[in-house]
Amino acid sequence: MNSKTANPGSLAGVRILDMATVLAAPSGATLCADQGADVVKLELPDGSDSLRHMQPIKDGSPLWWKVANRGKRGITLDVRKPKGREIFLSMLPSFDVLVENFRSGSLDRWGLDIATLHKANPRLIVVRLTGFGQTGPYRSRAGFARVFEAMSGFTNLTGEAGGSPLHSNFPLGDAIAGVFCAFSIASEVARLRGDPGAAGAEVDLSATEALFRLLDPLPVEHEQLGQVRCAVGNRTSYTAPSNMYRSRDGVYFSLVASSQAVYVRLCDAVNRPEWVSDPRFETLPKRVQNMDALDEGFARWFGEHPYAEISAQLERHQVPFCKVYDIRDIKADPHFQARQAIIRLPDPDYGSLPAPCIVPRVVGRDMPIPRSGPAVGEHNVEVYAEFGLDAADLTELRDQNVI
């Protein structure tokens, strides 16, 4: 018997108007949709959002858009036009949150400054996610993931020692900013729920600061120790062994043994118990100081054995490790399968599309599976009917290129 009960999510009843573009801020709204929020995606009538034109695209259909904007209803509206601005402001009292990511000052130029927004809805939470924030000398700069990954200090930690810093083949900075966006929304919703008389808020979220926020030790180690952390390849500068290794048959895997107990088990797994008492390696600080020699020994042993033997030994001795997965490995892994880590989003073009599961899970709840992201203006009739606009109104607005 299934002990779970269907649940609309902890953010059920929260209404979010997502007028942001591309990925960072929209992904924050998507995370809220996963938790039950009613998210309406507002786009320009021409469907010019860059994410609609980024690979992967199949038969002209934007696959990334579909999975990144899952669970949302889609409308079109040009808020830069007087009629569009009028409709936009009339809608705001029905929403709890507005998410935007235009360059600082853009909404002000369109007659949608924060005072005007809060006049329309005094309890509105306005999340403004930009590359560098609403203040400071860089406030008007365009923000892209690779730019604020570099500026935050994060990119300086990647790559081989002495070589070029490296970006990953995914806009990680956008994803992290999106998580902070969702956190901002949930935090402010909790505040308002606890005080019916509380006013709304303007959230100034800098994507650069969001990424920098995760790099806790950088400022303190520089001030107190004079250290500047930099790239060390697949190693870390704070624990050892912690590296990427290659088996005899060419399989790359990541391994970390930070604690003394795990290090002892690792030495047993590779039949080198003498490395436990070796004066160079007997404590973690000494292992960090002598990581070249330490890694040389482990790399040599791993390079002499096939991965199947290595993995069996490491599992037997409970050493944390994992082969470097690609998406094929993720799909085939029995743990991911058991937890249904890939769900299928209902989609009008493909029947369904695979996407990562809802995170986090709440024990005892079954979350509804969201549908894929909307087509341009797909829900215009449905959403605008909620605000009293009928078919004739929508036809007129289309003729004026307002929707």
Cβ(123)–Cβ(198) below 8 Å:
yes
Note the pLDDT tens digit of each residue in 161-189.
999 999 999 999 999 999 999 999 999 99
Give the mean pLDDT of 334-355: 97
234 token code pair: 């697949």
**All CATH 3.30.1540.10 domain ranges in the chain, comma separated:** 242-325
Cβ(148)–Cβ(156) below 8 Å:
no
What is the band of 6 on the pLDDT scale with cuts at 50, 70, 90? Answer: low
Question: What is the rounded CA–CA span in Å between residue 18 and residue 145?
Answer: 19
pTM for the structure as a whole: 0.94
pLDDT of residue 356: 98
Q: Which of the residues are catalytic?
A: 174
**All CATH 3.40.50.10540 domain ranges in the chain, comma separated:** 5-214+339-399
Cβ(189)–Cβ(11) below 8 Å:
yes
What is the chain's mean pLDDT, rounded? 96
CA distances from 370 to 8, 12, 218, 346 (A): 11, 13, 39, 7
Q: Tell me the sheet residues that pair with 253.
A: 245, 323
Question: What is the rounded CA–CA span in Å between residue 400 and residue 198?
Answer: 39
Note the pLDDT tens digit of each residue in 19-63.
999 999 999 999 999 999 999 999 999 999 999 999 999 999 999
Give the mean pLDDT of 214-236: 96
For domain 5-214+339-399, the CATH class is alpha beta
Q: Tell me the sheet residues that pair with 125.
A: 97, 201
What SS3 state is found at 15? Answer: strand
Is 80 exceeded by the pLDDT of residue 2? no
What is the band of 3 on the pLDDT scale with cuts at 50, 70, 90? Answer: very low
Secondary structure, 3-state, 190-240: HHHHCCCCCCCEEEEEEHHHHHHHCCCHHHHHHHHHCCCCCCECECCCCCC
Q: Tell me the sheet residues that pair with 97.
A: 16, 125
Is 90 exceeded by the pLDDT of residue 5? no
What SS3 state is found at 113? Answer: coil
pLDDT of residue 8: 83
Note the pLDDT tens digit of each residue in 249-258.
999 999 999 9
394 token code pair: 């929508």
Note the pLDDT tens digit of each residue in 60-80.
999 999 999 999 999 999 999
199 token code pair: 């006013």
Taking alpha carbons only, the member of 68, 82, 17 closest to residue 43 is 17
Q: Which CATH number fits domain 242-325: 1.10.760.10, 3.40.50.300, 3.30.1540.10, 1.10.10.10?
A: 3.30.1540.10
Taking alpha carbons only, the member of 357, 331, 354 closest to residue 64 is 354
